[in-house]
Each structure stands twice: as C-alpha cells, then as structure tokens.
Amino acid sequence: MAMTPLQASAQEADTYRQLKLFGEVFERVRADFVEEVSDQELIEAAVRGMLNHLDPHSGYLDPDSFREMRTQTRGEFGGLGIEVTMENGVVKVVSPIDDTPAYRAGVEAGDFITHIDGEQVMGLTLSEAVDRMRGPVDSPITVTIRRGEQEPFDLEIVRDIIKVQSVRSRVEGNIGYLRVTSFSEQTTPGLEEAVAEIEAELGDDLQGYVLDLRNNPGGLLEQAISVTDLFLDRGEIVSTRGRHDEDSQRWNATAGDDIEGLPMVVLINSGSASASEIVAGALQDHRRAIVMGTTSFGKGSVQTVIPLGAEGAMRLTTARYYTPSGRSIQAMGIEPDILVEQATVTTPEQQRQRREADLRRHLDGEEAPETPAAPEDEEAVPEVILPEPEADGDEEAAEIIEDYQLARALDLLRGLALFNGRIVN
C-alpha cells in the first residue's frame, strides 16, 4: 500500500532524526574516546555494524577483502583453506576445502574457532578474524577448535597458497565419480573434461555417475546454473525472488544432456551450501538424480556484491533461491531422497550438526508446496532396495567404512543398472 504524502513526510523526518543521532555519536566518539580513532575507522565500523546486523551473509568488504573475494572466485587464493561464517561471536567452519592445509590438519565442518594464536576471536568481526588467519606462505598459525562436546584443542596449521582444483574425478568399477569442491570459474570446464575422460575410459560399460557435493560451500551462481545444465535437457534450474516483483529471475536449461540420461546419484551433507543446494535441488525436482546423504546446510539467499568508493564493496542479501518446484532452500536445506549418515569406525554419541537455521539473524524459510511439481513426460525414479555392501578383505571393508555414503551410492547405481537390464561385470 502506497504511503500518503503526510506519512512519507513523517517517515522522512524520522529518518533525519536517526541520522542526527548517528552524527552526534560519531562526533562524541571522535572527540572523547580514550584513544584517537580515524574518521575512516569509525565510518567503516558503522557500515560493518549496519550490514552485519541484517543477516549472517551481508557485510562490508574493505579493499583487501574485496580483492581477496575476486581472487577466490578465480580459484586461487592464500590462506588455510576453509569456508567460514560468524556465529555467536566465534568463527564457524562451514567446510574445509579438499587438499588444503586446514583439511590435512583435520579441521571439520561445524568446528568453531575460538582462538587464533592464543587470542580470543570473541569481539572480532568475521573480516578481522579472517585477516588474522591470513599471513605469509609457510608461516604457522595455531587455532583453538571447539568440536561438539569435546574439550577445546589446538591445531597448528601452516599457511599456503590455496589452489583449488574444483573438480576431481575417477572411475569406480563401471561408475564415474565426480567430486565438485566449490563453484568457481573453473568448475564447468573441469566437469566437462572429467566427463569426457570417464566416457573415453569406460565407453559402453559406463553405468552412471556419482556427483559428490558434500562439504561444498557454494560459490558462483552462474556456475551452479551451468553445472546443472550439463545434466538437464530442459526445464527450470532455479529462480530468485527479491523484495520487489521486478527483481524476480528464472534460469532454464538448454537442450542437451552431457551424460545422455545415465543414472545419477548426488551426495550431499550439512556442509553442502548455496550453489551446491541449487544443483541438488534442481536435479531432485526434475527426477534427474537421486539425492543421497544428509540434509544440506540451508543457505538459500542471494548475495549481490556492490562495489563502493575506494575499491571496497558491500555484500548485500537481495533475494532468495527457489528450486524448480517452488521450494525455498533458505533455513530448510535439501532433504535427501535416501537418508544415509556417514559411518565411522567407532560409534560416538551423535552430535547435531549446525546449519543455516541455527545462525543468528538468519532469514526465515518458507513452507514448501505440498506436492513438488514433477516435469511432464518424465518417469518417477524406481524404488530400489539397497543391498548391504559386501567387502572382499579387510582393505575394501576399511574403504567402505571410510566413506560409507559413497559406498551406498555406488551400490544404488549398480542396483539401477541391474534394474534397467544393463550388464554388470
């Protein structure tokens, strides 16, 4: 409903009163704070506070952080190799990046970093904490980790240049395994190359693919769309809805399926966020793939990076993502078609994993439609009873225990191959 001129005038007057309050506080701090603080520091702190108050993903990027962000999207950056957010005043690890110093040191998704080189993280902004974790290549850093109900412990990590190979692949019997660790500018070309190599190796014996998106924190929206388009022949991939109707956008698949309709299993877990959830949600809604694992993180919001003066930028949440059936990902995540927890050698007491819905000031989610719309002229995924995995010898059994979710995904694809009458060697 449009405001009357009187209401608009009253709102404008209230805004000026609030800006006057800001000016008064600014001048008093500038004049009377126990130590001298520059105008730039005060204004940047005010901007950070305003944006950080909105939701966990909006924020201010100073020139150094903005340059770092642009470097990350190109797939190469310096640091420890972790995707982080801020929660309850400390740094929370969304996921470690494969084959990076943090990953090799044993950092896990859901860990909290409470101290950096012995200094408390509490009281720092996320940008300040990230700055302290940066440093010269080959220099050590000690982070204090709080994990579940365990006593806090220290990890020493040696900083390195992080060159992210966003796509890894291999052959598992007659099945192609595709691991996507992030969505950078290198992802779609890397995935196309991996598919071509697997097809060349297996030829007509190829039975299907596992697309592994576990602990993938996301990345570029355009890459999530192009990756999904590799496996869809038609239909909507994702839509975004902002505050205003004119801000809504939809992206659709183009003709052509790079793997020619072969069965797919997509693996997700609580570390699969944002772009990963777009891919999993679209392939699930179109019945193009079976999603397996545990519920994803639930980051279904769109951040727009807006350059500001002096080479800085602001990251502002401007819209929500929706899957083709109209489901909101925000604070809900993608529920797998087949729930498979990751197995370990021991059976510890299960700890609840933190997700987007647990973050302070997270955007509310929206109820999903009662019945997700299935694309026309597509068959439903046949129900397959998974056989128990069999292992020949201790070595194979150990591998299955090490990655139980992948083992079950491979079993499912082999079962589908049998169901479809394919020859299994």
Q: Say whether pLDDT at 236 is over 90.
A: yes
**Residue range 370-386, pLDDT digits in tens:** 544 444 333 333 333 34
Q: Which residue has the higher pLDDT, 144 or 68?
A: 144
Q: Name the percent of the chain lying above pLDDT 70.
A: 85
H helix or E strand, kind and range, residue 71:
helix 63-73
The pair of three-digit structure tokens given for residue 195, joined into one six-digit string: 């598919």
| DSSP-H helix ranges across 181-263 | 187-202, 221-231
Marked catalytic residue, from 166, 184, 229, 299: 299
pLDDT band (50, 70, 90) for residue 344: low
End-to-end alpha-carbon separation of the chain, Å? 67
Q: What is the pTM assigned to this prediction?
A: 0.71
Q: Give the CA distances from residue 404 to residues 104, 244, 264, 292, 298, in Å, rounded to whole numbers and listed in that order.
A: 20, 45, 17, 11, 23
Q: Give the CA distances from residue 131 to residues 64, 99, 124, 127, 275, in Å, rounded to whole numbers and listed in that order.
A: 9, 21, 10, 6, 25
* Amino acid 377: pLDDT: 38
Catalytic residue at 163? no
**Residue range 45-54, pLDDT digits in tens:** 999 999 999 9
**116, 102 in Cβ contact below 8 A?**
no
**Average pLDDT of the residues in 115-136:** 88
* Amino acid 75: pLDDT: 63
**Average pLDDT of the residues in 346-350:** 44
CATH class of the region 76-163: mainly beta
Q: Say whether pLDDT at 126 is over 90.
A: no
- The Cα 283–Cα 131 span in angstroms is 37
Query: CB neighbours of 46 closer than 8 A, spacing ≥ 6?
Result: 22, 26
Marked catalytic residue, from 58, 169, 270, 274: 274
**Residue range 248-263, pLDDT digits in tens:** 999 999 999 999 999 9
Q: Which CATH architecture has domain 167-382?
A: Alpha-Beta Complex (3.90)
- The Cα 316–Cα 327 span in angstroms is 22
Amino acid, single-letter form, for residue 99: D
| Domain regions of the chain by residue span | 76-163, 167-382
